Chains A and B, each alone.
Chain A
Amino acid sequence: MTKQVKSKALIALGFAASTFALATAAQATDPTDPLVVNGDLEIVTNTAAPAHMDMIDTIQSGWEFRSPETQDLQRDDFDNPGMIFVDDAREAWATAEGSEGKSCASCHGEPEEMAGVKAVYPKWNEDAGEVRTMEMQINACRTENMGAEALKYNAGDMTNMVALLSAVSRGLPVNVAIDGPAQATWEQGKELYYTRTGQLELSCANCHEDNYDNLIRADHLSQGQINAFPAYRLKNAKLNSVHDRFKGCVRDTRAETFAPGSPEFVALELYVASRGNGLSVEGPSVRN
């Protein structure tokens, strides 16, 4: 870990700890209060399930399964440690890289002009003939348009950039397409969701469809929604990508995991994202 990264992590950790203490000391907000960020950005954390889901009537963001203290950290961007990393990405957005001397801003302008993009990813890319995640599209931009090196799929600067793109889409409904050319990938993701892997023989559905809202040891099982990623986790004091979370979950079934950025996890991301169609884009979120 470099000095700079380390100090940043420490600052983030201290920030999280202090805001956590503050939130605990202050009267925690009524847990039934809906999530409104900065007093004016309304976030839909539960809504009717999309038509393709048979077993669940109401879809809920992971925010609803967290403690009031953790929930409160998302009500104001000054309390949300994930926003520190968004600021880092904002800087990177405007920094020219690669042989073409371009930054993201050279073509796209302000990050806010990307509002709505994150909401529809993963998305079919006609030219490439594949479903692309936000990360894949960022790397395509870097290598094809900027003449820059691709970022490692789950590197910190990549996840931070995804968080910036998420932040500017916050409040907009997740709306990934599952039909047409994306359908085959979606079906593959669905099959993975229901496959019981590893020596514990657990599928995503075993915990997040059949047992959400139950405790498994000290963990309050959520629906495993990914509308709020990247997620700042209090346990590791950084932003966590969707594929890193998938990897951790699969590992915990005592299985051989898939790699972040693998076709399997891209397919799974499309399917899981589609289970959240209708919830708000919420990242960067705060989770335990």
Chain B
Amino acid sequence: MKLSFALAAVAACTAGIAWAAPVVPADVEFSEYGAVEASLTGGAGDAANGAKVMTNRGKGNCVACHAVTALSDAPFHGEVGPSLDGAADRWTEAELRGLVANAKKTFEGTIMPAFYKNDGYIRPGDAYTGKAPTEALTPLLTAEEVEDVVAYLMTLKEQ
């Protein structure tokens, strides 16, 4: 009797959490052209934190491949991908969310890593240790961090 009461309470709790929890990577809905309409968290991102994620080597490190004039305080921007200056003029928020989450849905075969995905890899490792993972992989960025980056990218306007 006690046990079933406890189970019911747990079920109620997890149901509550699931309602507020971010979309898990497997459930992200991409449009035919790779856009993701719905916020992964259900809310708006924090652009200031997005800028930090973009320059942090242990997080998005977007500037490793993309130049961003507004982030020129961070040293050494790469040239593997296009400059992100004016990104918000060229892409909608949904398109940018799709590009950050999994750019291969927009550009097949692109070199750009998928930042919101956690399976389907060949020989995935445990971060940068070179060893096999001992537990389930987490995406490169959390849902909140993806939304933060999207919010920052939406500030990159030239027009």
Looking at chain A's contact residues, the main secondary structure is loop
A-B contact pairs, 20 of them (CB 8 A): A197-B121, A198-B125, A199-B140, A201-B113, A202-B111, A210-B111, A211-B80, A214-B78, A215-B76, A216-B65, A217-B57, A217-B63, A217-B76, A218-B75, A221-B80, A247-B130, A251-B125, A254-B124, A255-B123, A256-B131
Which among B80, B123, B133, B140 has the greatest number of chain A C-beta atoms within 10 A?
B123
B57 CB contacts on chain A under 8 angstroms? 217
Q: Is there an interface contact between B128 and A256, defined as CB atoms closer than 8 Å?
A: no
A214 CB contacts on chain B under 8 angstroms? 78-80
Interface string of B107-142 (1 = CB under 8 A from A): 000010110000001111111111111000100100
Give bound CA distance, A196 to B124, whole Å: 10
User: With A199-B140, A201-B114 in contact, do A255 and B78 touch (Cβ < 8 Å)?
Assistant: no
- Tell me which of B64, B65, B130, B140 contacts A256 (CB under 8 A): B130
A256 CB contacts on chain B under 8 angstroms? 123-126, 130-133
Counting contact residues on chain B (CB < 8 A from A), the size range is 20 to 34
A254 CB contacts on chain B under 8 angstroms? 124-125, 127-128
Inter-chain CB contacts under 8 Å: number: 79
Give bound CA distance, A254 to B126, whole Å: 7
Interface string of B55-90 (1 = CB under 8 A from A): 001000101110000000001111110000000000
Give bound CA distance, A256 to B123, whole Å: 5
Give bound CA distance, A253 to B128, whole Å: 8
B78 CB contacts on chain A under 8 angstroms? 214-217
